[in-house]
């Protein structure tokens, strides 16, 4: 099946006539083609967006809300089709796509369809000066949205929904590794009555198509989710062009377990926070620190549960761990497992490719638990982004806080304790944008979402996203 660009409300082939192979991670086979769009395609998408902007930016909030909610309803009505497409493209279990990815994409549109009607701006009366200040929050114009392969439609729509809700028009590029659901979204938007040119989707490599977007002088803001290295590159290109940037990058998140936690809930959730989506979520708790008094018990119980996880074809309902997204990514994760051994880590379980019957060429890997002897080893410092976690004990709060913060990332942290004062002490000092206590990945879309340090710049979610996608103008009237 060949993917096409969606420009000005129409599907079209790339002017470059350059095509990339689209692989199915579960089988390792090529199952379609993806455009490698050129600067010309990006310019055409920009022109369509620019032409649609005057009318869309003046469309009433009620009408914008109605269209976004209609998109949400159509995604829900096509749940199975989108879930199967997402799974085939990414390698994740169909059930996971059906329960998480596609419903969340629908929620993104519904949430911002409602939020835009509640997005108020402020006014200030200059008492004694007979003057009134009020703030206009105006859409930026044409904005760029670039998203990664791990949660394809989930993250693609997490950017697009607030951007168009705020009255902007969009040039969007999904990952070239997982283009399918973004491609299918085009027809849904047309059916929902989204005016042509408001959303334009161009497919292709980051270094060609993505680069053309970030270099475009009139695309005034870039919302990006992906690797830290790419985020730094985008910032370097965008800085002299004074583009607004939202960068949601990598993570190496601590999962800190104190002896006073609700043990069974912690254990069950820790299996999920370690291996959900094959560990390919920037929020996964990939560094597990356990208070020494329960470390041996945890090690035994956790390894036993991890060994029980089933690696299989994503379409099987019994599959817990599907295929990794690509062969190069599988090799990268395997390299890290070798590095762990060279650093005297102990592979407590996993560490090997899996040959799934009838799908021997798929990109399958066992969920892997590595006991490390120091927090400063590479597998504890670098983002692996696969079904691999490290574990080690700690003695005091200060010890674990110091280790948790001693990485270049600062996206999320998970904390397991029933001690309220400890919760506040740790939450205040953890260098992260998100702290989950006695839970993981509980998401309220109104909350600010993003990280610090090498995990990025800016926040998505709720009014933070609508602020990013608008410019604040202060008007002061003397009367």
List residues with catalytic annotation: 248, 282
Does residue number 248 form part of the binding site for ligand TXE (CB under 6 A)? Answer: yes
Minimum separation from the CB atom of position 419 to ligand TXE (A): 31
Stretches 245-253, 341-349, 438-446, 458-466: which one binds ligand TXE (CB under 6 A)? Answer: 245-253
* N-to-C CA span, the chain: 64
Distance CA 38, CA 44 (A): 10
| CB 226 to ligand TXE: min, Å | 3
Residue 214 as a binder of ligand TXE (CB under 6 A): the answer is: yes
Which residues, 6 or more positions from 207, have their beta carbon under 8 angstroms from its beta carbon? Answer: none
Closer by beta carbon to ligand TXE, 65 or else 178? 178
Is residue 262 a contact partner of residue 418, using CB atoms and an 8 Å limit?
Answer: yes
The answer to whether 225 contacts ligand TXE (rule: CB under 6 A) is: yes
Position 449 contacts ligand TXE (CB under 6 A): no
DSSP state of 129: T
Say whether residue 230 binds ligand TXE (CB under 6 A): yes
Q: How far is the CB of 422 from ligand TXE (least distance, A)?
A: 29
Does residue 101 touch ligand TXE according to CB under 6 A? no
Pick from 176, 366, 375, 464: which binds ligand TXE (CB under 6 A)? Answer: 176
Q: Report in angstroms how near the CB of residue 414 gets to ligand TXE at its nearest.
A: 16
Q: Which of 14, 35, 103, 226 binds ligand TXE (CB under 6 A)?
A: 226
Q: At what angle do helices 102-115 and 79-90 cross, to 10 degrees?
A: 120
User: Smallest gap, in angstroms, from Cβ of residue 77 to ligand TXE?
Assistant: 27
State the minimum distance, in angstroms, from the CB of residue 158 to ligand TXE.
Answer: 11
* CA 388 – CA 414 distance, rounded (Å): 17
Nearest-5° angle of CA 225, CA 434, CA 296? 110
Q: Which stretch binds ligand TXE (CB under 6 A): 4-12, 230-238, 292-300, 340-348?
A: 230-238
Beta strands in 261-411 (DSSP E): 287-291, 346-349, 368-371, 388-394, 409-410
**Cα–Cα–Cα angle for 42, 46, 50, nearest 5°?**
175
| Beta carbon nearer to ligand TXE, 375 or 383 | 383
Does residue 233 belong to the site contacting ligand TXE (CB under 6 A)? yes
In DSSP terms, 301 is beta-bridged to none
Task: Decide if residue 243 touches ligand TXE (CB under 6 A).
Answer: no
Which one, of 435, 414, 439, 410, lies nearest residue 248 by Cα?
410
Q: Which residue's CB is nearer to ligand TXE, number 83 or number 172?
A: 172
Site for ligand TXE in 127-146 (CB under 6 A): 146
Q: Which of 162, 186, 206, 362 binds ligand TXE (CB under 6 A)?
A: 206
**What is the nearest approach in angstroms of ligand TXE to the Cβ of residue 460?**
11
The values of phi and psi at residue 315, to 5°, are: -80, -15
Among residues 312 and 410, whose Cβ is nearest to ligand TXE?
410
What's 116's DSSP letter? G
Number of residues that bind ligand TXE (CB under 6 A): 25
Give the strands of the sheet with 221-225, arranged side by side.
10-12, 5-7, 199-201, 169-173, 142-146, 221-225, 244-248, 456-457
List binders of ligand TXE among 273-292 (CB under 6 A).
282
* Nearer of residues 167 and 250 to ligand TXE, judged by Cβ: 250
The edge-to-edge listing of strands for the beta sheet with 346-349 is 346-349, 368-371, 388-394, 287-291, 254-257, 412-416, 434-437
| 85 within 8 A of 180, measured Cβ to Cβ | yes
Q: Which two tokens stand for residue 432?
A: 């992260």
DSSP string covering 163-177: HHHTT-EEEEE--TT
Contact call for residue 45 and ligand TXE (CB under 6 A): no
Nearest Cα to 9, choosing from 158, 193, 213?
A: 193
Q: Which residue is nearest to ligand TXE (CB)?
A: 206
According to the binding rule CB under 6 A, does residue 182 interact with ligand TXE?
Answer: no
Identify the burial level of 252 via C-beta atoms within 10 angstroms of its C-beta, where 0-12 means exposed, 13-18 middle and 19 or more buried: buried
Binding mask 354-393 for ligand TXE (x = CB under 6 A): -----------------------------x-x--------
Q: Does 175 bind ligand TXE (CB under 6 A)?
A: yes
Interaction of residue 249 with ligand TXE, rule CB under 6 A: yes
Decide: 19 and 50 in contact? Cβ < 8 Å: no
Measured CA to CA in angstroms, residue 300 lies from 32, 252, 295, 297, 391 at distances of 44, 24, 9, 5, 12
Whole-angstrom distance, CA of residue 287 vs CA of residue 252: 7
The span of 25-33, 49-57, 121-129, 246-254 binding ligand TXE (CB under 6 A) equals 246-254
Binding of ligand TXE at residue 227 (CB under 6 A)?
yes
Q: Closer to ligand TXE at the Cβ: 162 or 174?
A: 174
Is residue 104 within the footprint of ligand TXE (CB under 6 A)? no
**Residue number, 105 or 401, with CB nearest to ligand TXE:** 105
Q: Which is nearer to ligand TXE, 199 or 234 (CB)?
A: 234
Residues at the interface with ligand TXE (CB under 6 A):
146-150, 173, 175-176, 206-207, 210-211, 214, 225-227, 230, 233-234, 248-250, 282, 383, 385
């Amino acid at each position: 099946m060949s993917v096409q660009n969606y420009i000005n409300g129409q599907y079209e082939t790339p002017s470059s006539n350059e095509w990339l192979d689209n692989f199915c991670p579960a089988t390792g086979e090529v199952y379609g083609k993806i455009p490698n769009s050129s600067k010309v395609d990006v310019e055409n998408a920009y022109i369509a967006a620019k032409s649609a902007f005057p009318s869309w930016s003046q469309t009433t909030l009620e009408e914008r809300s109605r269209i976004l909610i209609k998109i949400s309803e159509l995604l829900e009505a096509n749940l199975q089709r989108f879930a199967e497409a997402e799974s085939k493209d990414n390698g994740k279990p169909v059930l996971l796509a059906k329960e998480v990815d596609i419903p969340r994409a629908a929620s993104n549109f519904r949430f911002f369809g409602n939020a835009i009607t509640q997005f108020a701006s402020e006014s200030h009366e200059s008492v004694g000066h007979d003057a009134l200040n009020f703030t206009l929050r105006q859409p930026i114009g044409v904005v760029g949205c670039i998203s990664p392969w791990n949660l394809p439609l989930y993250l693609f729509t997490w950017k697009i929904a607030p951007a168009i809700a705020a009255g902007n028009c969009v040039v969007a590029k999904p990952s070239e590794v997982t283009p399918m659901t973004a491609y299918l979204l085009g027809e849904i938007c047309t059916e929902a009555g989204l005016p042509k040119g408001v959303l334009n989707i161009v497919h292709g490599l980051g270094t060609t198509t993505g680069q053309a977007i970030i270099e475009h002088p009139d695309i005034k803001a870039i919302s990006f989710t992906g690797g830290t290295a790419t985020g730094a590159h985008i910032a370097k290109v965008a800085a002299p062009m004074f583009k607004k940037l939202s960068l949601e990058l990598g993570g190496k998140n601590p999962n800190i377990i104190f002896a006073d936690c609700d043990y069974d809930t912690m254990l069950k959730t820790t299996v999920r926070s370690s291996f959900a989506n094959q560990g390919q979520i920037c929020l996964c708790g990939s560094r597990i620190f356990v208070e020494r008094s329960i470390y041996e018990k945890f090690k035994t119980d956790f390894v036993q549960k991890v060994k029980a996880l089933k690696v299989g074809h994503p379409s099987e309902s019994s599959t817990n761990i599907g295929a990794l997204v690509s062969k190069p990514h599988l090799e990268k994760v395997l390299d890290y497992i070798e590095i762990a051994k060279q650093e005297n880590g102990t592979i407590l379980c996993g560490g090997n490719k899996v040959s799934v019957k009838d799908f021997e060429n798929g990109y399958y890997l066992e969920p892997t638990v590595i006991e490390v002897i120091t927090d400063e080893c590479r597998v504890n410092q670098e983002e692996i982004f696969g079904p691999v976690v490290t574990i080690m004990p700690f003695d005091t709060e200060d010890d674990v806080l110091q280790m948790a913060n001693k990485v270049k990332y600062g996206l999320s942290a998970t904390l397991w304790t029933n001690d309220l004062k400890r919760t506040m002490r740790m939450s205040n000092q953890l260098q992260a944008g998100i702290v989950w206590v006695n839970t993981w990945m509980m998401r309220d879309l109104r909350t600010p979402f993003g990280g610090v340090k090498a995990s990025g710049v800016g926040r998505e979610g709720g009014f933070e996203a609508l602020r990013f996608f608008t410019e604040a103008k202060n008007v002061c009237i003397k009367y």
